[in-house]
Amino acid sequence: MAYILSVGRAIPENELSQETTNEFAKEMFQDSFKDIERLLTVFKNGEIETRQFAEKLDWYKEAHTFEEKNNTYIEKAVQLSVKAINNCLQNKNLLDKGIDCKEIDAIIFISSTGIATPSIDAKIMNHITFKESTKRIPIWGLGCAGGAAGLSRAFEYCLAYPDSLVLVVAVELCSLTFQHDDLTKSNLIGTSLFADGVACVCLAGNAFNRKSISKLKALPHIQDTRSSFMKDSEDVMGWEIKNNGFYVVFSRDIPTIVRNWLRPQVIKFLKEHDLTLDAISHFAAHPGGKKVLEAYQDGLGLTDRHLQISKDVLIHHGNMSSVTVMYVIQDYLEKELGRESEYGLIGALGPGFSSELLLVQWESV
């Protein structure tokens, strides 16, 4: 098993209001959609107020090659990852003392919005003095499910090595995938929803002396994880890769799938631990969008309280793909919302179509 010790984020410096991005989309697409004014209501209806981006707005008004966009991704990913890792290991809100980079045994790197070989985690290690034997585990292509999946894989690493410390670093620079020539409604919806962000989570195995460094009264202790895959659903969510880069695939059926498909997966998972939905006090959900949050409520019988943190993250940061659930977890920890013995679920959905769930129980430090 594993404990979530600390979280740090790196927020891109270019923040835009939803009103500004609305005007940007109108400028970009008004000659392509006859009903542009009706379509632009998604910007207001999504209830996002602000989002952060890797570049200034003018950068997105110009066309860029796949090479240019990917080179920008690599540069920004390394810069922001280093910042997020340092913020995680030195988070004074969560830790009594900082964690030395040389104590880290493994780094799991998550992303779906750019490519690099050597992978970004290798480039990070040339900027931060980790020990040479630190294991690198890059995972690509899990989309919005990636953050939760990375935590699941870290949990499994800690099961094998219970005295270890593991970092999960997620980088998503969704804005760099913007395509001027993509005249689909999926692209317009993506433009209203997706944003950029980077986060790092530090997990400790059961044998690690967490009491010596944690500032909190109770920590979320991961009990188990569950991956679920929906067969023949590749067209629900993902990328179509063309000469100019990534083109978004984003089905309008996602909220319906969440509402109908996810509930049996959750119930089955909880039943394995002799639990029901009524036992879950906290639901740290990846907020895919307003309609997805509503589908969580309808499908799982959750209240506004269960999803308030997820909603707040969506309002202030938008959907940062895999990173978003880590922002939610950080708010849970820093606000000390979990009490000893309470159960919670961490959950996210992504391409495949798939879900990743983690069952946690807060335990006294």
Count: domains in the chain: 2
235 lies in the same domain as 206: no
158 is a catalytic site residue: no
Nearest to 154 by CA among 205, 218, 99, 111: 205
Domain interval for residue 238: 218-364
Domain termination site, one of 191, 212, 233? 212
Looking at the fold, whether 108 and 160 belong to one and the same domain comes out as yes
Residue length of the chain: 365
| Residue 52 sits in the same domain as residue 164 | yes
Contacts with 217 (C-beta within 8 Å, 6 or more apart), sequence order: 336, 340, 364, 365
Asked if 171 and 244 sit in the same domain, the reply is no
Claim to verify: residue 54 and residue 194 sit in the same structural domain: yes
- Per-residue pLDDT tens digits of the chain, which is 365 residues long: 899 999 999 999 999 999 999 999 888 888 777 778 888 888 888 889 999 999 999 999 999 999 999 999 999 999 999 999 999 999 999 999 999 999 999 999 999 999 999 999 999 999 999 999 999 999 999 999 999 999 999 999 999 999 999 999 999 999 999 988 887 777 888 888 899 999 999 999 999 999 899 999 999 999 999 999 989 888 888 888 888 888 888 777 788 888 888 899 999 999 999 999 999 999 999 998 898 899 999 889 888 899 999 999 999 999 999 999 999 999 999 999 989 999 999 999 999 899 999 999 999 98
Same domain, 244 and 286: yes
Residue 357 main-chain phi, psi, to 5 deg? -125, 140
Which pTM value belongs to this model? Answer: 0.95
For residue 118, the domain's CATH number is 3.40.47.10
Tell me the residue type at 224.
D
Same domain, 36 and 147: yes
On whether both 232 and 354 belong to a single domain, the answer is: yes
124, 237: one domain: no
200 and 56 within one domain: yes
Catalytic annotation, pick one of 144, 158, 174, 202: 144
